Amino acid sequence: MKKLSFILSFVSIFLFMVKVNAQEITTFTGFWGAEYYQDDKELSKKEFKSLLYTNNEAAIYWKKAETNETIGYVALLAQLGLAIWTGAELAKDDGNSLEPALGSLGFGILGSLFLHFSNQNAKKAILTYNKQFDNKTTFRLVPTSNRNGIGLALKF
């Protein structure tokens, strides 16, 4: 009876082993945008955002990044409109193209700055999320056997 209870307890511990691993997020620039990975598993943007929103500080940085990205793209869209207007004014003989050209330049600089700030905030969000794993020890409980018998060992 003792042997059976020992085997059952060993099997239950083996099946319900404690396993804690760091799940840091990494991002790579892809052809169509950023690609997100958690260890070696690729994440969709929706999964990535749901992970970031579990950490309040990282969520704040990510919201700032999304806001800056939106403002940046709106500014670049305004730049495109002003560039088209500049082209139309240049096509006219008596057209004044200085104002739309300066506006296009200004919105281009503004859009580039906001996209740069968006990139910085996105990096801060990922680094902040990953920082929560810095002080945690990763370990797992593994079954082991040697000449002295069978047992469990902590593997770091």
CA angle at 55 for the pair 54 and 57, rounded to the nearest 5°: 145
Q: What gap in Å lies between CA 22 and CA 134, rounded to an integer? A: 9
- Which two three-digit tokens encode residue 14? 């083996």
Q: Indicate if the alpha-carbon torsion angle 121, 126, 127, 129 is positive or negative.
A: positive
pLDDT at 10: 54
Task: Kindly tell me if the per-residue pLDDT of 82 is higher than 70.
Answer: yes
Q: How far apart are CA 79 and CA 71, in angstroms?
A: 12
Confidence label for 16 from pLDDT (cuts 50, 70 and 90)? very low
Do strands 139-146 and 19-20 pair parallel, antiparallel, or not at all (unpaired)? antiparallel
What is the sign of the dihedral through the CA atoms of 120, 78, 107 and 85?
positive
Percent of the residues in the chain that have a pLDDT greater than 90, as a whole number: 42
Coil, strand or helix at 35: strand
CA dist., res. 1 & res. 41, Å (int): 45
User: Quick one: average pLDDT of 128-132?
Assistant: 89
The predicted model scores a pTM of 0.68
pLDDT over 80 (residue 96) = yes
